[in-house]
């Protein structure tokens, strides 16, 4: 079943520049989807490095387990990536592990590299054995098509219930040398990352060792993908990886704290946030993009936990869908978060308008501007605890009947 493009979608897929040392190929395997690519294969130049963050789910998929082990075993060396959509290869037991091993072996042979330098991901239905022969057959003959696919093709190939492909790009300089970053992501439902997001891949031509990439990615994910939620559910397959080909030729950098990386760090974090926002804007059934800002908490951690309590509340999300400025539900969410709060210090603003303070509604506040704000596609909620300096921002979307429609028939 196909669904209309999200009303929050960007006007068009961005123009992502090619990254030297990155060759893309896409194909249709027929695993689930017809008339569109559902397999992405990436070849990375010799000498490329990689880093990743993955789901903390205790029922994580076999591809996630492989990637975690491969990063450690290969010291961050990276030569290839294989991603399929339509089947998550999760909760498939020993058959799933064997499927990963066969796919990796096939890709390693095609790319002429050790198995631990190839990474893999699968996304789609959980619990269905993966017919990996449909993948390996294509990989065996893929060499001539590497470098022929576009970023749009790649983003489409990794999608499941997404209503539009997601991409972003940024540029920066490292010690005076220009570098480029381009990334793609997929995600629409089962979105409450506990590390990264459903699937996202970022590529750069910068020359950076794997350890530096890992430090930067770990920092960036906390303020981007780990600060979004659609439905409060963490996927078994969440994977975010960052690859660097070194083709820009910048001078060596040995630590993520190097001042020469300030521009690159800013560009990377902006790109990750861009992709994370696109995932929320494609939330299943979403009609509104919601920013929740929490200030005055005891700590940044407390602020984030409170923000997520608000963003994950079905009562808050349905009120937003109904364009009802029901601030009482926000008070409820703050109170249930488990973090310290004082009702008499609490201040709540919607669209910048103060509507609750000192333990009660603001006397005679004008509800007109607030109601107008709620009718827009971008809704801003701000909560100040009045207890400290802790602050955080998280992003979510509203909860509509469209979410039920999409998920009630997902397997069928």
Write out the binding residues for substrate: 160, 186, 197, 284, 407, 412
End-to-end CA distance of the chain: 9
Rounded to whole angstroms, the Cα distance separating 351 from 31 reads: 45
Residue with tokens 């993955």: 54
Please confirm, yes or no, whether 396 is among the known catalytic residues. Answer: no
Catalytic residue (choose from 103, 123, 197, 400): 197
Residues 29/135, Cβ–Cβ less than 8 Å: yes
Burial class (CB in 10 A: 0-12, 13-18, 19+), 11: exposed
8 Å CB contact between 324 and 379: no
What's the full length of the chain, in residues?
412
- SS3 string, the chain, reads CCCCCCCCCCCCCCCCCCCCCEEEEEECCCCCCCCCCCEEEEEECCCCEEEEEECCCCCCCHHHHHHHHHHHHHCCECCEEEEEEEECCCCCHHHHHHHHHHHHHHHHHHHCCCHHHEEEEEEEECCCCCCCHHHHHHHHCCHHHCCCCCHHHHHHHCCCCCCCCEEEEEEEEECCEEEEEEEEEECCCCCCCCCCCCEEEEEECCCCCHHHHHHHHHHHHHCCHHHECCCCCCCCCCEEEEEECCCCCCCCCCCCCCHHHHHHHHHHHHHHHHHHHHHHHCCCCCCCEEEEEEEEECCHHHHHHHHHHHHHCHHHHHHHHCCCCCHHHHHHHHHHCCCCCCCCCCEEEECCEEEEECCEECCCCCHHHHHHHHCCCEEEEEEECCCCCEEEEEEEECCCHHHHHHHHCCCC
Radius of gyration of the chain (CA): 22
Burial class (CB in 10 A: 0-12, 13-18, 19+), 409: exposed
Active site residue ranges = 197
């Amino acid at each position: 079943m196909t669904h209309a493009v999200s009303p929050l979608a960007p006007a068009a897929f961005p123009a992502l520049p090619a990254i030297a040392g990155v060759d893309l190929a896409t194909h249709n395997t027929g695993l689930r989807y017809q008339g569109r690519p559902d397999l992405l294969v990436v070849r990375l130049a010799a000498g490329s490095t990689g880093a990743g963050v993955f789901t903390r789910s205790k029922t994580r998929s076999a591809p996630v387990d492989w990637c975690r082990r491969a990063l450690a075993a290969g010291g961050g060396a990276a030569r290839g990536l294989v991603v399929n959509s339509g089947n998550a290869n999760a909760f498939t037991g020993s058959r799933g592990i064997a499927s990963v091993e066969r796919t990796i072996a096939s890709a390693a042979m095609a790319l002429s590299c050790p198995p631990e330098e190839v990474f893999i991901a699968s996304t789609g239905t959980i619990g269905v054995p993966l017919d990996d022969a449909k993948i390996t057959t294509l990989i065996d003959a893929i060499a001539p098509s590497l470098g022929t696919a576009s970023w749009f093709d790649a983003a489409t190939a990794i999608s499941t219930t997404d209503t539009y492909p997601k991409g972003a790009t940024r540029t920066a300089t490292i010690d005076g040398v220009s570098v480029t970053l381009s990334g793609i992501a997929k995600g629409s439902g089962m979105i409450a990352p506990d590390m990264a997001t459903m699937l996202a891949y970022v590529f750069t031509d910068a020359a950076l060792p794997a350890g530096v990439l890992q430090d930067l990615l770990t920092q960036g994910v906390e303020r981007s993908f780990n600060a979004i939620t659609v439905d409060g559910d963490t996927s078994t397959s969440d994977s975010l990886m960052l690859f660097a080909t070194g083709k820009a030729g910048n001078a060596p950098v040995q630590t993520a704290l190097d001042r020469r990386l300030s521009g690159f760090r800013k560009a990377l974090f902006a790109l990750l946030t861009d992709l994370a926002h696109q995932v929320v804007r494609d939330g299943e059934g979403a009609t509104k993009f919601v920013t929740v800002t929490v200030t005055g908490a005891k700590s940044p951690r407390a602020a984030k936990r409170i923000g997520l309590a608000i963003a994950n509340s079905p009562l808050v999300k349905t009120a937003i869908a109904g364009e009802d400025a029901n601030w009482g539900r926000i008070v409820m969410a703050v109170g249930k978060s488990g973090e310290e709060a004082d009702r008499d210090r609490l201040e709540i603003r919607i669209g910048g308008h103060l509507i609750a303070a000192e333990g009660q509604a603001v006397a005679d506040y004008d509800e007109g501007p607030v109601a107008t704000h709620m009718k827009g596609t971008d809704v801003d909620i701000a909560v100040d605890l009045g207890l400290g300096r802790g602050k955080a921002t998280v992003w979510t979307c509203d909860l509509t009947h469209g979410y039920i429609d999409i998920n009630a028939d997902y397997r069928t």
